[in-house]
Chain A
Amino acid sequence: MSTSTPTPSVVPAKTSPGWQRKLSHLVGPLVLLGPPGVWLLLLLVVPTLLILQLSLIPGIRPGQPIDGFGLGNYLNIFQPVYLQVIWRSVFFALGSTVLTLLLGFPVAYWIALMAPKRWRNLLLVSFVLPLWTSSLLRAYAWITILRPTGVLNSFLSTLGLPTLDLLNRSGAVFIGMSYSFLPYMVLVLYASLEKLDRRLLEAAADLGASAPQAFWKVTVPQTLPGIAAGCLLVFIASLGDFVVPELLGGASSMTVSRLIYNQFLGATRNWGLGSSLSMVLILAVSISIALLIKYGDRDPESFS
């Protein structure tokens, strides 16, 4: 561009087309962001807008005349039956988050701080390995394990212990979800624990803190951003999960995702309700992601 205006101080700006310069500044971003932008527009933004539109048409069903616009679908959600389903979804998501945190923290801690350095990557990979198979496959595997005549119960009966009836109950949902999302938790916690300055633990010991005191007063607060990030990630993923509650949860474990499925492809066929539930779910997840972005990646140095 500079060659087209060799003497800008002498020649008035009229020959130097500002819009051309602006355009040239846009070429780079357009080339880089264009393809994914189109992709997102067609497959995310447009469908979401379509669902938003559907959610604003009360009682829309396939093959039925459209009956004006309104917030009827959203008000519908406030029926106790649906609120109970939403509450149950949140309960499953929270429970799985707590479970993965309790299971994942010791593992991440051990890999990051105690395992021999050369084994760390291998240990992490082996932990992520289950993610390479389909979530459907993993859910079926759990059915094989948990069903009344499954692996777990045969094992228990050989030991002479009473058998457990876990499948098609909340317990199975917690087990399945925690199993599915544990690798995410471990990865995020590992990244945070691995950055932990061990000299701080020495400093804590020097000031009289025993190992448990140093853990609660230094390790946990120092890795709090990582803990928050891991928890939000698991919470978001389990809130919208469909496979695990569908396959392992049984009839009593209706969640929002299953309810939405039923509104579109199940017996009830209420597109309006399904769309409004979808919008609520999208909103909840978006808020969680916003929180994750704001607090998840904070450097422990920047506390204040």
Chain B
Amino acid sequence: MSQTAMQNRPVIETDTRFDVELRKIFKVFNGETVVRGVDLGIWQGEFFSILGPSGCGKTTTLRLIAGFEEPSAGEVLIRGKSMSGVPAYRRPVNTVFQSYALFSHLSVWENIAFGLRIKRQSKAEIQNRVQEALRLVKMEQFARRYPAQLSGGQQQRVAVARALVNRPTVVLLDEPLGALDLKLRKEMQVELSTLHKNLGVTFVMVTHDQEEALSLSDRIAVMHDGRLEQIGTPNQIYDYPQTPFVADFIGDTNLFKGQVETTDYAMLQVRTDRGLKILVKPTESSNGSTPGQVVVSVRPEKIQLSLEKPSSPVNCFEGRLMHTMYLGTHVHYLVELLSGDRLTVLQPNRAKLAAEPDSSLYIHWAETDCLALTA
């Protein structure tokens, strides 16, 4: 996989394809280590997301790039230049804050012009660029308003314009859509994506919303407990999670703890703690994983349900239907296996299973539809 290749390659000092580089970053607050050795490179023009649950250190990582915090150890580079000792106001980055942090004493127009005025741009230049930024976020008619007179979505647009107008190397977005309601969030997602495509600027977004990260990003870094769990494309993160945490955090999954019993080059046999035998086709990333503790992950939508014993005996287990939840496009089943494991199964609302609650049935999945992750 490409991201493992990138991680293993020694970092070249003069690699100009990186806009942002973090090298073994640590951050300690009052004796508590919030970021533990984060090492990553963000390509030029990329939409990069840092995804994780609250308290995982993702916002701190963003603040380290912005320069609001200095790393306790390690180094931040922007366009190959070390940012050590460079204060926030001298860094070529601009932030869209979670709370927007608009200046309530200034009009929309003056909010956007703030950065240009600080840099003493000419009057004509300020006029042109503010106008252009307003047009970009479709806020021309609100230029004279004050932030308190705008809705949340409109404030969001002003915050984006205020960052973009300075033409930064990197735009940092801290949970940019967190305060908006669902419908508006979807709209703004599309607009952010369009803005990114049209401008070609590097976007680094912090979010706890996996759907947002999956739908917007070119690449995602999943963080947990101050560490990077995995970096990859949305597809890689979802379909080939490398750790049980990523498998569990991104989407729904069923996890089985177990021991690798036999390995050959083509197949892993895992015996779970509750006695199930699961066959797993190794992927590149789990290739060569030594026998030992593993966690098998099966996505609910990859599991098939049937009333009769299916012809293929692979990964087929008998169980009992506990609960059915009708979701409209999909139906969600909760199944308890004879071993006592409980599984969630998601089926498209096409072939409805004619099963009564408590009736017995069979579940099965292909050996290519599950992953063995080193615990």
Give A residues with C-beta under 8 Å from B. 197, 199-200, 202-210, 213, 217-218, 221-222, 224, 300-304
Are B99 and A206 interface neighbours, CB within 8 A?
A: no
Give B residues with C-beta under 8 Å from A. 66-68, 87-90, 93-95, 97, 99, 101-106, 114-115, 118-119, 146, 148-149, 162-163, 166
Are B103 and A206 interface neighbours, CB within 8 A?
A: no
CB-based nearest A residue for B165: A207
Give the distance to chain B from A221, nearest Cβ to Cβ, in Å. 4
| In the bound complex, CA of A213 to CA of B99 (Å) | 22
Are B166 and A303 interface neighbours, CB within 8 A?
A: no
CB-based nearest B residue for A198: B101
| In the bound complex, CA of A268 to CA of B162 (Å) | 67
Interfacial chain B residues near A207, Cβ < 8 Å: 89, 94, 114-115, 118, 162, 166
Interfacial chain B residues near A304, Cβ < 8 Å: 146, 148-149
Give the distance to chain B from A117, nearest Cβ to Cβ, in Å. 13
Are B68 and A213 interface neighbours, CB within 8 A?
A: no
Are B68 and A202 interface neighbours, CB within 8 A?
A: yes
CB-based nearest A residue for B145: A304
Please judge, given known A-B contacts A303-B148, A304-B149, whether A206 and B95 are in contact too, CB under 8 Å.
yes
| In the bound complex, CA of A49 to CA of B29 (Å) | 65
Show 12 residue pairs from A and B whose CB-CB distance is below 8 angstroms, ordered by the A residue.
Answer: A197-B101, A202-B97, A203-B97, A204-B89, A205-B89, A207-B89, A207-B94, A207-B162, A207-B166, A222-B104, A222-B105, A304-B149
Give the distance to chain B from A217, nearest Cβ to Cβ, in Å. 7
**Lowest 5 A-B CB distances belong to which pairs?**
A207-B115, A203-B101, A205-B88, A199-B101, A221-B105
Interfacial chain B residues near A213, Cβ < 8 Å: 118
| In the bound complex, CA of A213 to CA of B87 (Å) | 14
CB-based nearest A residue for B95: A206
Are B101 and A208 interface neighbours, CB within 8 A?
A: no
Given known contacts A203-B102, A221-B105, what 7 new A-B pairs fall within 8 Å (CB)? Answer: A197-B101, A200-B103, A202-B97, A205-B87, A209-B118, A210-B87, A224-B105
| In the bound complex, CA of A213 to CA of B103 (Å) | 14
Are A202 and B148 interface neighbours, CB within 8 A?
A: no
| In the bound complex, CA of A303 to CA of B149 (Å) | 10
CB-based nearest B residue for A302: B148
| In the bound complex, CA of A200 to CA of B114 (Å) | 12
Are B89 and A206 interface neighbours, CB within 8 A?
A: yes
CB-based nearest A residue for B144: A304
Give the distance to chain A from B266, nearest Cβ to Cβ, in Å. 53
| In the bound complex, CA of A301 to CA of B99 (Å) | 14
CB-based nearest A residue for B105: A221
| In the bound complex, CA of A218 to CA of B102 (Å) | 11
| In the bound complex, CA of A208 to CA of B99 (Å) | 19
| In the bound complex, CA of A304 to CA of B104 (Å) | 9
Are B88 and A202 interface neighbours, CB within 8 A?
A: yes
Give the distance to chain A from B167, nearest Cβ to Cβ, in Å. 12
Please judge, given known A-B contacts A199-B97, A301-B148, whether A208 and B105 are in contact too, CB under 8 Å.
no
Are A218 and B103 interface neighbours, CB within 8 A?
A: yes
**Candidate in B97, B118, B119, B162 with the most chain A CB atoms within 10 angstroms:** B118
Partner of B95, one of A203, A221, A300: A203
Give the distance to chain A from B102, nearest Cβ to Cβ, in Å. 8
Give the distance to chain B from A200, nearest Cβ to Cβ, in Å. 6
Are A204 and B104 interface neighbours, CB within 8 A?
A: no
Are A199 and B105 interface neighbours, CB within 8 A?
A: no
| In the bound complex, CA of A199 to CA of B166 (Å) | 19
**Candidate in A207, A209, A301 with the most chain B CB atoms within 10 angstroms:** A207
Give the distance to chain B from A158, nearest Cβ to Cβ, in Å. 45
| In the bound complex, CA of A141 to CA of B95 (Å) | 54
Interfacial chain B residues near A221, Cβ < 8 Å: 103, 105-106
Interfacial chain A residues near B163, Cβ < 8 Å: 206
